[in-house]
Structure 1
Amino acid sequence: MIFDLGFIKIDIGWLITFFSGALFTLILVTLWYLVAVLKSLNKDMKRNKVQEEDIDELEIKWLINDAHKLFKQKDVRDSVGYGQHLLNVSLELGNDIATKFYPRSKYPYLELSLDESLVLLRYVSNRFDELLNKPILKMFKGLTLRRLITLNDAKVKLDNNLLVKATNKFKVNEIFKQTMLVLNVVNPIYWFRRLVLDNVTQVIMIKLGLVVISLTGEETYKIYSKKVFNQDKELNSGIEEIYKDIENSLKEDKDQHEET
């Protein structure tokens, strides 16, 4: 069909063919663009292979043990603070493990994708929660890490108090231990020190810090080695042994107070 407008003739069939071709071309270009974008996104989401795959698990255990020794340094822990020291040691351990797998990377700890980072945090949190579900440690389950840090800092300040130092030096606590026992039963300060600032509790807090470091090391190793996505292979850094030490410490403390 042709329209004659006098100064121009319009072929409707040609127009339909032209616009159909243009529309088809636009659809093809759009589809090609979408495929290119999706392919690019999929490529970005793929986990990059580590630069070094031949990592001996024993090397990771050595790094974890070194981190334990660093965290146990009381002078550094007291000066920096329990929480900050724990965070510093854990981050340094994570970076050391990452460097094993990405020795040529300027920022090895940034080689994880977002989803891998979330998996790492979830795994550490879940495993620590599982540990606190054990019967002997349920008393700590209601305490937040912030609360534990606050209580530890209070212990450090109390120990550094000149009056407390003098009291400990002259064994005043031992002299009044038996005579003040009845009064202590109704003394909230006594219970605060007994339940929170007790030496056994401090030992347990240190061991819990070691557990956090071990969990961080184990899960970081699994994430960076990609083993967590391929097979269920555990790295034993001695967490169960630490738990048994905590259990024994609590039992010994309980027996001592039952005797008194």
Structure 2
Amino acid sequence: MTDHRPTRRRFLLGGALGAGAALLGCDMSVQDTPTGRVLETAEHLTRSAQRLLQGRHALAREYRATDISPRFRVNGSSMPDSDAYAALLDKRFVDWRLRVDGLVARPREFSLDGLKVMPSRTQITRHDCVEGWSAIARWTGVPLAEVLRATGILPSARYVVFHCADELEPTLDGSGRYYESIDLVDAFHPQTILAYGMNGKELSVGHGAPLRLRVERQLGYKQAKYLMRIELVDSLQGLGAGRGGYWEDRGYEWYAGI
């Protein structure tokens, strides 16, 4: 689950030109209209322009410890409404496993301790929410690239899908589970990590324990919490409404670059 509950708005991002994000009013009815198709084309152009101008591996700004915000909101789910999750939490996630499968050569399950012995990265970055607030925090976790290399991505893979433990409401595919996705460019970005620590402590339940995604060059709704499974796919069409994420299925841009 993301770290906020967005308002029902759609972003057409102008960040590639240094202008921030321009807000466009939208509802679900616009998605399959000519207007919706124009917006999707604009999203693709924004992504291409941002990566051309900034470079695929350009880093998001990192801050000093003195810049860390005294308060970092817990929005959206504060705890998944799931007996299975509650049981994992009761045992301090000893029995939790992150499943990595799909288009990989070696499907695997990783324990929390197993992830913690892998190479790690700590970064102090700013979380920008579509609701208009920001907060700076120190995140520690394993680079997503390390996990993907350990499973061997197949040549046909194009996207990384994050399946989560929480539900906000029944999703369009009937599963009710929150999900999010990114492409392989962002998956292998050096600041894209699977975070298990925040501000020098274990990740709290409200902020996504035991594991959450940090993809620092995108807006807050891409930072999926309560990770349970990572799936490599060649297309997003078979997931939810085929738009690549819970909020994307409800009108948000799939690429939320800043």
Pairwise same-fold verdict (TM > 0.5): no
- More strand per residue: 2
TM-score normalised to structure 1 length = 0.21
Structure of larger gyration radius: 1
